[in-house]
Amino acid sequence: MITSLSIENFALIEKLSIDFSSGFSIITGETGAGKSILLGALGLVLGKRADLTSLKNKSEKCIIEAHFQISNYNLQSFFATNDLDYEAETIIRREILPSGKSRAFINDTPVNLQELQDLSLYLIDIHSQHQTQELSEENFQFEIIDSIAGNQGVISEYILVLKSYKKQKTDLLQLNTQIQQALKEQDYNTFLLEELLEAKLESCDQLELESIFEKLTNVEAIKENLEKSFAIASEEQFGVLHNLKEMKVALQKASSFSSEYQFLFERLNSVSIELDDIVDELNGVAENLVNDPEQLELVNQKLQLIYNLQKKHQVLSISELLQIQNDLDNKVISVSNLENEIKILEEKIQHSELELDKLAHSIHDNRTKAIPILSQKLVGILEQLGMPNVRFNIEINATSNYLQNGKDELQFLFSANKGSDFGLLKKVASGGEMSRIMLAVKAILAQYSKLPTIIFDEIDTGVSGEIAIKMGDIMKGMSETMQVFAITHLPQIAAKGNAHFKVFKTIIGEQTHSELKLLSGEERILEIAQMLSGTVVSDSALNHAKALLD
């Protein structure tokens, strides 16, 4: 329940602080006095968006703070899930800065608006005249039935399975799209892959092949130059080897005179040994070098195959061709992999459908059992509210579709008068009837929900007299198990409250201010008398007010 509310610099409120009690609290005041401002401030605390028009003084920040006693409402898990400090008396604060920025805190921990909105679902139900139209919405009608049916747990489980099921269906659609595309490209990819595999590129060295090709192409010129080099080196009288030997003999004779000459001789001797090896190798290479047209043709064919593949795939190396070969192999294999994935996913979808069907059947059965209870309770309350011939025709029909809260479609029909046909609420119910039906619904839901606080904002619109007294009795009854506020213009309802607050305007200087005051016993008699007779209070109005309060 909400225990206190403080407001600074909001709309017509400069500064306001008020404490609330449990039970049934009444809020009254003239039209335009500021009752909607209170609800607006409370709405900000509960996560509604704000703007600079909310500030009374545009140069100062607006602060709204509400204290809630939540020890009896098992909200520890919510605080743990959202990484918030749990306090039995939880404080929610909202600040709107002159810059237009907004800040929110739960027990001094900064939070975003979504977290405020999520927490507010467990704290307060603010019911306005506009929300009466929710009665005509199928989702709200299902909420009423499911609250009585105790379907919250099974629907939560259904929603989780449905979320997974929808993702599985999306994934299956994507996989089918992929495999269709893959199958279109399968033949071409297979052709390209086989072409690359036939080339046996793993065992190819392009640089080596190109070197062999150059050698085989120029074998005659190479042989001629090798033989010429051999002749120059080994010619008997004028060859390099012959002259080198004579140099060695001459230097050997001089080497005995100085270490310097000895070093030169040793170097020349090394050159002689190396040249001997080169000449021997030249001779061997020249003798082994033969013209091989068949090998030349094979090497040429291999290189042309490589060049053609590189041109076809727009690459410059064998390694790049091998990467393309690997990619094509994966694409060809992926078709069979996709088929296997699709098969597995289809099995999962079938399992999810079985689970959804089981949960939806349970939801349907619970709703079927709850509908007679709801109809009976609604009729019982509405008969007290001056609708003795009211009837409801509530039918649920199972469908094959997986909807957000099960597989049911709902027909929620209403007739207010004997002999009248059933029709949709929004078409056949008057404003006063809608208000009474909504009050009946809220009274019933209060028996099944654990919501700490409900605020009725002029739910009594369109009713008066004895009906208003009955409405007050119902709200009073609800307040035995929860905190109830009623913003009302009817003295019959105002007299039922345990506490009575009045909203009024004052003018200080050139400024108008809205204020909220807890009325004393005498002040309350006067307020109800004014609600009965207007500004000029008669003795009969005072006596009537006292009678209502008694």
CATH number for position 473: 3.40.50.300
Q: Residue 190 — pLDDT band, cuts 50, 70, 90?
A: confident
For residues 189 and 323, membership in a common domain is answered with: yes
Q: Residue 492 belongs to what H/E stretch? A: helix 491-494
- 24-33, 47-56, 341-350, 515-524: which range is least confident on average? 47-56
In angstroms, rounded to a whole number, what is the distance separating the alpha carbons of residues 161 and 353? 9
Q: Is residue 550 one of the residues assigned to a domain? A: no
For residues 199 and 52, membership in a common domain is answered with: no
Q: Is residue 313 one of the residues assigned to a domain? A: yes
What is the side-by-side order of every strand in the sheet holding 2-10?
13-19, 2-10, 62-69, 89-96, 102-106, 109-111
Q: Mean pLDDT over residues 293-311, rounded?
A: 79
For residues 292 and 212, membership in a common domain is answered with: yes
Residue whose structure tokens are 């939070």:
111
Whether the pLDDT of residue 130 is over 70: the answer is no
For residues 79 and 184, membership in a common domain is answered with: no
Q: Number of folded domains in the chain?
A: 2
For residues 186 and 309, membership in a common domain is answered with: yes
Q: Is residue 263 one of the residues assigned to a domain? A: yes
Listed residues 301, 321, 336: the one ending a domain: 336
For residues 187 and 118, membership in a common domain is answered with: no
Q: Is residue 371 one of the residues assigned to a domain? A: no
Q: Determine the pLDDT at residue 236.
A: 65
pLDDT tens sequence across 95-118: 998 888 889 999 999 999 999 999
For residues 188 and 304, membership in a common domain is answered with: yes
Q: Is residue 542 one of the residues assigned to a domain? A: no
Whether the pLDDT of residue 428 is over 80: the answer is yes
Listed residues 336, 356, 389: the one ending a domain: 336
Whether the pLDDT of residue 313 is over 70: the answer is yes
Q: Residue 288 — pLDDT band, cuts 50, 70, 90?
A: low
For residues 294 and 222, membership in a common domain is answered with: yes
Q: Determine the pLDDT at residue 279.
A: 82
In angstroms, rounded to a whole number, what is the distance separating the alpha carbons of residues 489 and 31? 9
Q: Residue 154 — pLDDT band, cuts 50, 70, 90?
A: very high
Q: Residue 332 — pLDDT band, cuts 50, 70, 90?
A: low
- 3-state DSSP assignment of residue 19: strand
Quick check: 431 and 411 in contact, CB under 8 A?
A: no
For residues 34 and 104, membership in a common domain is answered with: yes
For residues 110 and 191, membership in a common domain is answered with: no
Q: Mean pLDDT over residues 334-338, rounded?
A: 74
Whether the pLDDT of residue 504 is over 80: the answer is yes
For residues 215 and 301, membership in a common domain is answered with: yes
Of residues 50 and 401, the one with the higher pLDDT is 401
For residues 331 and 188, membership in a common domain is answered with: yes
Q: Is residue 389 one of the residues assigned to a domain? A: no
Q: Is residue 34 one of the residues assigned to a domain? A: yes
Task: Give the domain extent around 97.
Answer: 1-123+451-518
Q: How many CA atoms lie within 13 A of 537 on its CB side?
A: 15
Whether the pLDDT of residue 499 is over 90: the answer is yes
The mean pLDDT value of the chain amounts to: 86
Q: Residue 27 belongs to what H/E stretch? A: strand 24-28
Q: Token pair of 137, please?
A: 């919405």
Q: Residue 224 — pLDDT band, cuts 50, 70, 90?
A: confident
Q: Is residue 167 one of the residues assigned to a domain? A: no
Whole-number Cα distances in Å, 414 to 313, 423, 534: 73, 5, 38
Q: Residue 427 — pLDDT band, cuts 50, 70, 90?
A: confident
